[in-house]
C-alpha cells in the first residue's frame, strides 16, 4: 500500500515536471516525440577510455629494447620493423614506408639554434621563447663512457652510416571523407647513449597507442587520420622534411581516378608529440632537480606564432586544450606560441601545426628543465608512474581532440553485421 501510494505520488510529480518542462522549454516538440530524452552519451569518452597506462608503458619498454635507435644503424632499422609489426598487429594494416637519403653535413654545421653558444647566452630561446629564471646548460651527450650500463653501451656503439633511410606510417581511413586527414606523429630515432625512452619513445608510444585504439573494428571516423613515426628528427627533422617534399603536392588527389582512394589525403592539421613525460619544474639554484613529477605538471601545446597558419594553429590548440579538460584524467594542458625544434616545423607554413610536450621547448626544456634530454639517463628505469601518466594524459588529449575533429564514434561490430 505504501509502496503503491509512493509510486503514484512520484508518477504525478514526474508528470507535472514533464509537462512543465515540455511546455516551457520545448514548445516546438511535435506530439508523440520523446520530449525529455536524456542527452545522448558522449561517443568519444568510451574511445578515449581505451587508453591505458600499463599498455602505454609496455610500448615504451618495447621501444627501449633497441637502445637509442640512432638513425642510420641496424638498431634503428630493427626498431622501425618492430614499430611496423606492432601497428599491423593493432589492425593498422595499411602501413607504408617513405624512403630518402641521408648523409650528415660536414663537421661544424649543426641544427639551427641547438648548441649554439651565442643563442644560449641570449634572453630569447629557441623558437622565439623568452627565457626566465634559473637556467641549466642543454647539451647532447656523445661520450659512450657516460653510459654505465655496459650492455646498453655496447648496443649503442655501432655508428650511424650515411645512406638510405626509411620511416613508417599507417592510416585510419575516414568513412565519409577519406580525402582529408589529420597527421598524428612522433619521431622514433634518438641520441645520447641512453634508451631514448622519453625522447622520443614517449611520443612514439603515444602515437602507436592511439593507432591501436583507432584501429579497433568498432571505431569509425568520418575523416582520415595518419599515424606517422618520423626518422632522423635528431639530425635536423630530415625524415619529416622528406615526407613533406615527397607528398605535399599529392594532397587530395584520387588515385587511381574513380577508385575512392586517396594516397595522400588533404592535410587538415599536423600534431607532433616529442618528450611527453618529465615535468619536474625549474632546476634548483644548485643545479639539482626535484625527484618527483610536480603536482601542477601540464601538457604543453605549442604552435609557432610566426608561421603562415598561426591563427588557425592557435584555434586548433584551443580545441586540444578543451579536449584535455574533457578527457584527460590527471593533468591540464597549456598553450604557448613558440613551437620549435621538432617535426611539426616543416609543416607549419603548409597546414595548422602543433606540438605537444612535457614542457615548453624554448623557455623550459631550453632552460634545462629536463636533465635527461639527450643524456645516458634517458632510460625506462628513470621514470615513475607519475611521469608515464603525463604521457598518457597527452595521449588522452590528442585522441579526444582528434576523435572530435574527425567525427569518431563506436559502432558495435555485431549489430552492424546483422544490418
Question: Between residues 174 and 346, which has the closer beta carbon with respect to Zn ion?
Answer: 346
Applying CB under 5 A, the site for Zn ion has a residue count of: 3
Q: How far is the CB of 203 from Zn ion (least distance, A)?
A: 7
Question: Between residues 84 and 199, which has the closer beta carbon with respect to Zn ion?
Answer: 199
Question: Between residues 241 and 253, which has the closer beta carbon with respect to Zn ion?
Answer: 241
Whether 199 contacts 190, CB under 8 Å: yes
Q: How many CB atoms lie within 10 A of CB 354?
A: 26
- From the list 54-62, 102-110, 144-152, 273-281, the region that binds Zn ion by CB under 5 A is 273-281
Q: How far is the CB of 219 from Zn ion (least distance, A)?
A: 28
Question: Between residues 138 and 274, which has the closer beta carbon with respect to Zn ion?
Answer: 274
Whether 390 contacts 280, CB under 8 Å: no
Among 195, 274, 370, 387, binds Zn ion (CB under 5 A): 274
Q: How far is the CB of 200 from Zn ion (least distance, A)?
A: 4
Q: How far is the CB of 343 from Zn ion (least distance, A)?
A: 8
Q: Are strands 353-357 and 299-302 parallel, antiparallel or unpaired?
A: antiparallel
Which residues within the stretch 336-395 sit at the binding site for Zn ion (CB under 5 A)? none
Alpha carbons within 13 angstroms on the beta-carbon side of residue 104 total: 15
Question: Between residues 200 and 209, which has the closer beta carbon with respect to Zn ion?
Answer: 200
Whether 214 contacts 207, CB under 8 Å: no
Q: How far is the CB of 393 from Zn ion (least distance, A)?
A: 18
Question: Between residues 367 and 404, which has the closer beta carbon with respect to Zn ion?
Answer: 367
Q: How far is the CB of 398 from Zn ion (least distance, A)?
A: 16
* Residue in the block written with cell 645520447: 192
Whether 239 contacts 196, CB under 8 Å: no
Question: Between residues 199 and 264, which has the closer beta carbon with respect to Zn ion?
Answer: 199
Q: How far is the CB of 185 from Zn ion (least distance, A)?
A: 11
Phi, psi of 393, deg, nearest 5 = -65, -35
How far is CA 363 from each of CA 212, 352, 366, rounded to the nearest angstrom? Answer: 33, 22, 5
- From the list 68-76, 160-168, 274-282, 371-379, the region that binds Zn ion by CB under 5 A is 274-282
Q: How far is the CB of 341 from Zn ion (least distance, A)?
A: 8
Whether 329 contacts 396, CB under 8 Å: yes
Whether 272 contacts 355, CB under 8 Å: yes
| DSSP category for residue 284 | P
Largest CA distance in the chain: 93
CA–CA separation, 299 and 271 (whole Å): 13
- From the list 5-13, 65-73, 160-168, 270-278, the region that binds Zn ion by CB under 5 A is 270-278
CA–CA separation, 37 and 384 (whole Å): 45
Look at residues 370, 367, 371 and name the one whose alpha carbon lies nearest to residue 122: 367
Question: Between residues 187 and 220, which has the closer beta carbon with respect to Zn ion?
Answer: 187
Q: Which three cell numbers stand for residue 161?
A: 652510416
Q: How far is the CB of 196 from Zn ion (least distance, A)?
A: 8
Q: How many angstroms from the chain centroid is the CA of residue 44?
A: 17
- From the list 5-13, 168-176, 266-274, 348-356, the region that binds Zn ion by CB under 5 A is 266-274
Give the contact letters, 141-180, x = binds to Zn ion (CB under 5 A), - = no: ----------------------------------------
Give the contact letters, 188-227, x = binds to Zn ion (CB under 5 A), - = no: -----------xx---------------------------
Question: Between residues 187 and 223, which has the closer beta carbon with respect to Zn ion?
Answer: 187
Alpha carbons within 13 angstroms on the beta-carbon side of residue 256 total: 0
Question: Between residues 169 and 327, which has the closer beta carbon with respect to Zn ion?
Answer: 169
Q: Are strands 96-102 and 163-172 parallel, antiparallel or unpaired?
A: antiparallel
Contacts with Zn ion by CB under 5 A lie at 199-200, 274
Amino acid at each position: 500500500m505504501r509502496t503503491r501510494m509512493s509510486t503514484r505520488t512520484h508518477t504525478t510529480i514526474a508528470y507535472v515536471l514533464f509537462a512543465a518542462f515540455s511546455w516551457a522549454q520545448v514548445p516546438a516538440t511535435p506530439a508523440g516525440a520523446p520530449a525529455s530524452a536524456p542527452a545522448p552519451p558522449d561517443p568519444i569518452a568510451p574511445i578515449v577510455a581505451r587508453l591505458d597506462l600499463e599498455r602505454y608503458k609496455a610500448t615504451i619498454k618495447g621501444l627501449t629494447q633497441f637502445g637509442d635507435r640512432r638513425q642510420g644503424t641496424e638498431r634503428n632499422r630493427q626498431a622501425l620493423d618492430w614499430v611496423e609489426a606492432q601497428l599491423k598487429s593493432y589492425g593498422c594494416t595499411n602501413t607504408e614506408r617513405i624512403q630518402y637519403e641521408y648523409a650528415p653535413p660536414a663537421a661544424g654545421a649543426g641544427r639551427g639554434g641547438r648548441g649554439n653558444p651565442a643563442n644560449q647566452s641570449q634572453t630569447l630561446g629557441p623558437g622565439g621563447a623568452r627565457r626566465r629564471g634559473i637556467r641549466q646548460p642543454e647539451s647532447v651527450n656523445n661520450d659512450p663512457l657516460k653510459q654505465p650500463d655496459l650492455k646498453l653501451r655496447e648496443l649503442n656503439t655501432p655508428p650511424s652510416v650515411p645512406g638510405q633511410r626509411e620511416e613508417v606510417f599507417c592510416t585510419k581511413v575516414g568513412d565519409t571523407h577519406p580525402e582529408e586527414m589529420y597527421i598524428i606523429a612522433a619521431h622514433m630515432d634518438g641520441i645520447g647513449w641512453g634508451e631514448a625512452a622519453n625522447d622520443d619513445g614517449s611520443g612514439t608510444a603515444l602515437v602507436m597507442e592511439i593507432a591501436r585504439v583507432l584501429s579497433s573494428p568498432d571505431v569509425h571516423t568520418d575523416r582520415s587520420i595518419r599515424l606517422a613515426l618520423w626518422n632522423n628528427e635528431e639530425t635536423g627533422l630530415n625524415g619529416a622534411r622528406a615526407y613533406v617534399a615527397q607528398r605535399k603536392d599529392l594532397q587530395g588527389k584520387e588515385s587511381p581516378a574513380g577508385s575512392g582512394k586517396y594516397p595522400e589525403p588533404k592535410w587538415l592539421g599536423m600534431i607532433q608529440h616529442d618528450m611527453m613525460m618529465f615535468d619536474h619544474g625549474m632546476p634548483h639554484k644548485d643545479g639539482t632537480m626535484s625527484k618527483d613529477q610536480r603536482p601542477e605538471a601540464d601538457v604543453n601545446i605549442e604552435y609557432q606564432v610566426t608561421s603562415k597558419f598561426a591563427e588557425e594553429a592557435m584555434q586548433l590548440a584551443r580545441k586540444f586544450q578543451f579536449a584535455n579538460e574533457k578527457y584527460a584524467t590527471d593533468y591540464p594542458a597549456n598553450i604557448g606560441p613558440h613551437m620549435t625544434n621538432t617535426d611539426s616545423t616543416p609543416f607549419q607554413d603548409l597546414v595548422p601545426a602543433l606540438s605537444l610536450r612535457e614542457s615548453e621547448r624554448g623557455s623550459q626544456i631550453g632552460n634545462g628543465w629536463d636533465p635527461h634530454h639527450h643524456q645516458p639517463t634517458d632510460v625506462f628505469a628513470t621514470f615513475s608512474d607519475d611521469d608515464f601518466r603525463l604521457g598518457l594524459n597527452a595521449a588522452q588529449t590528442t585522441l579526444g581532440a582528434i576523435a572530435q575533429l574527425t567525427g569518431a564514434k563506436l559502432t558495435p561490430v555485431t549489430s552492424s553485421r546483422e544490418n
